[in-house]
A = this chain, B = another copy of it.
Amino acid sequence: MTAEPAPASREAPRARFRPPAVPQVDVRGFWGSRVDAVADKTADILYERCVEAGMLDQLDPDRPVPELRIPFMSMSPAAVTSGKPTFTSGTVTTQMFWDSDLGKTIETAAYSLYRKKNPELEAKIDAVIDMFAKLQQPDGYLSSWYQRMQPGLRWTNLRDCHELYCAGHLIEGAVAYYQATGKRKLLDVMARYADHIDTMFGPEPEKKKGYCGHEEIELALVKLARVTGNDRYMKLAKYFIDQRGQQPHYFDEEALARGSDPSKFHFGTYEYNQSHKPVREQDKVVGHAVRAMYLYSGMADVATEFHDDTLRVALDKLWDDLNSKQLYVTGGLGPSDANEGFTADYDLPNETAYAETCAAVALAFWANRMLGMGPNRRYADVMEQAIYNGAISGISLDGSLFFYENPLESRGHHNRWKWHRCPCCPPNLGRMIASIGSYMYGQAEGEIAVHLYGDSTARLDIGGKEVRLTQTTRYPWDGAIGITVDVDAPTRFALSLRIPGWCRKASLKVNGEAVDLQAVTIDGYARLDREWKAGDSVALDLELAVERIHAHPEVRQDAGRVTLKRGPLVYCLEAVDNPISLNRVALPSDAPVDARYEDGLLGGVVTLSAKAKADATADWGGTLYRTEPPKSEEVAIKAVPYFVWDNREPGEMLVWLRGG
């Protein structure tokens, strides 16, 4: 019944890399404009949509309890169980997961408020926080759903009802709001709630042996432990990880206790929520994609904090499985809308790809946390791939419209929404973009790792001493990266710079002197271990060549096809630039592809141009099938980065082009 103890001790002397808090990093350039879009538009939009959706009616204890409004009849069975309503009319509803969306909205607002003062928004968020504080029960419990909509049912259906998931997102929001504004009201509220949860769940005989059907609380408790220094939260996070999938199965017993038949679980298998077996025995990425990524993120945090190599081994098997068989080239994942998740190896349909924005965002969470165990481009490359493609494709350039599904092929009917009945993605992406600085760096005893490049200034912590790093670069459009170091006094530490796996040619100089990359590179990071003085400069040059990418031959949907990539960016064709049916186009393997920065286009992007072949239609007349192959004609094509698609006139889009 109780979880197996973690074999590794927390006392081992190995490094733990911690991401910087948002206030430690100011971004400019590429990320600066994206963070500004979130701060200027998205953050306010998220709050307004929460209000429109009725979230505050469900939350505010001073308002009458709204009638239960979940039009199950018009929800798919999957929607009912997954809690993702897909109803056809009306945006106002009540949902068991509203607290999570408020939590992510608070987190996005927090980072945005740090970026730009916004007293109106800050007042609104403070008011929401007051509602949570007022709603909280004396014992610390806090849930707008179970206190207002379904009183008396708390802790009766962890499998389906997102109870701890909501707590987790509120904890993340609380930590962010505290870090960004210094206000600790919500942090204290959530710490009390976490204390209550700690009294409810654990190995002790009197406690429940449960865990959430939708993982999230695990990684949130790690954040809470780090910011409060309270080790109990860390231990509770580990408990939820260790207990998951143990026998007798909690979800079976819980269902029986509810008087329902465990075998009637809508998704049939507990693979859906990754509780089909203990996490250390899992070696295949399965089920609901976001849940899986959140679980692995929590596992990575616990592996880091506890130096738990049994978790690390499992995580590496899962990482290999995802990256060798189940990941879109865009960093999107979870091809099926039926389970919002994974299907079969190499099954990566392009037009029907679900590839939920939340899943790519969550992959970035996982990859970033794998880097807690030390810099390794095996993880950082994928983090960059997901962030620059399948994640930020989820938001329009102006920060006002959102994708939930991120297909790699479209006939033009797939366009970003103003809002979604299940608003999980916009705030998830909003908070990721607005906190991009914490993905760029890792800080540990005597070492700073630079995972992502971008024009920015960071104030990092090396054993209590502040190290200021200023990156000057036009990355990802240009591969020249200048880094200046600023310290109050000469300080010895290792500065580890990621040399991306996609980069064929890189050069590195310190204070003008060339460094032998081969000699200093470990796990794909150039490690510059020296005493750094104020004004020291590092010049890193990464060649951004245009590459043709081919998929494994077992990926049937991509057979005979090729996609274009430059640096971290995957490219696509859009109808607005290419007035021809895109599947008529074939890109010869020897056709030169030119990269050009276009200042006026889509806020400034590097486009790719080539002379390709197209199947001619002129000589077909009314013929639908014939024995003569189509004639070929030359056509000029122009590709744009995938993440900017659908920011102009809607039309066909294609990532995987026919090869030639």
Interface residues, chain A, with chain B CB atoms under 8 Å away: 320, 323-325, 327, 329, 547-557, 559-560, 562, 581-584, 586, 589, 614-617, 620, 622-630, 658-659
Query: Are A629 and B549 within 8 A (Cβ)?
Result: no
Residue from the set A325, A550, A629 with the largest chain B CB neighbour count within 10 Å: A550
Bound state CA distance, A551 and B625, in angstroms? 5
What is the minimal beta-carbon distance from A558 to any residue of chain B, in angstroms? 9
Q: Which chain B residues lie closer than 8 Å to A324 at the CB level?
A: 622-624
Query: Are A627 and B549 within 8 A (Cβ)?
Result: yes
Query: Are B620 and A553 within 8 A (Cβ)?
Result: yes
What is the minimal beta-carbon distance from A342 to any residue of chain B, in angstroms? 14
Q: Which residue from B549, B553, B583 sits with its C-beta under 8 Å from A584?
A: B553
Query: Are B620 and A552 within 8 A (Cβ)?
Result: yes
What is the minimal beta-carbon distance from A14 to any residue of chain B, in angstroms? 27
Name the residue on B nearest A321 (C-beta): B622
State whether A554 and B630 are in contact (beta carbons under 8 Å apart), knowing that A623-B324, A625-B329 are contacts in the complex: no
Query: Are B550 and A622 within 8 A (Cβ)?
Result: no
Name the residue on B nearest A615 (C-beta): B553
Name the residue on B nearest A658 (C-beta): B560
What is the minimal beta-carbon distance from A250 to any residue of chain B, in angstroms? 29
Q: Which chain B residues lie closer than 8 Å to A329 at the CB level?
A: 625
State whether A627 and B548 are in contact (beta carbons under 8 Å apart), knowing that A553-B616, A615-B553, A620-B553 are contacts in the complex: yes
Name the residue on B nearest A629 (C-beta): B550
**Top 4 A-B residue pairs of the complex, sorted by shortest distance between their CB atoms:** A553-B615, A556-B583, A324-B622, A559-B583
Bound state CA distance, A581 and B658, in angstroms? 19
Name the residue on B nearest A654 (C-beta): B556
Q: Which chain B residues lie closer than 8 Å to A624 at the CB level?
A: 323-325, 327, 551-552, 555
Residue from the set A557, A560, A562 with the largest chain B CB neighbour count within 10 Å: A560
Q: Which residue from B559, B614, B616, B622 sits with its C-beta under 8 Å from A658?
A: B559
Bound state CA distance, A620 and B323, in angstroms? 13
What is the minimal beta-carbon distance from A377 to any residue of chain B, in angstroms? 15
Q: Beyond A554-B581, A554-B617, A560-B615: 7 further Cβ-contacts under 8 Å?
A: A323-B624, A325-B624, A329-B625, A551-B624, A553-B584, A553-B614, A553-B616
Name the residue on B nearest A563 (C-beta): B625
Q: Which chain B residues lie closer than 8 Å to A630 at the CB level?
A: 550, 553
Q: Which chain B residues lie closer than 8 Å to A581 at the CB level?
A: 553-554, 556
Name the residue on B nearest A622 (C-beta): B324
What is the minimal beta-carbon distance from A39 to any residue of chain B, in angstroms? 34
Name the residue on B nearest A627 (C-beta): B547
Name the residue on B nearest A581 (C-beta): B554
What is the minimal beta-carbon distance from A554 to any residue of chain B, in angstroms? 6
Query: Are A550 and B625 within 8 A (Cβ)?
Result: yes
Query: Are B320 and A622 within 8 A (Cβ)?
Result: yes
Bound state CA distance, A472 and B28, in angstroms? 83
Query: Are B327 and A626 within 8 A (Cβ)?
Result: no
Query: Are A627 and B583 within 8 A (Cβ)?
Result: no
User: Would you mind naming 9 contact pairs between A and B with Cβ atoms under 8 Å apart?
Assistant: A320-B622, A323-B624, A324-B623, A549-B626, A550-B629, A552-B620, A554-B584, A559-B658, A560-B658
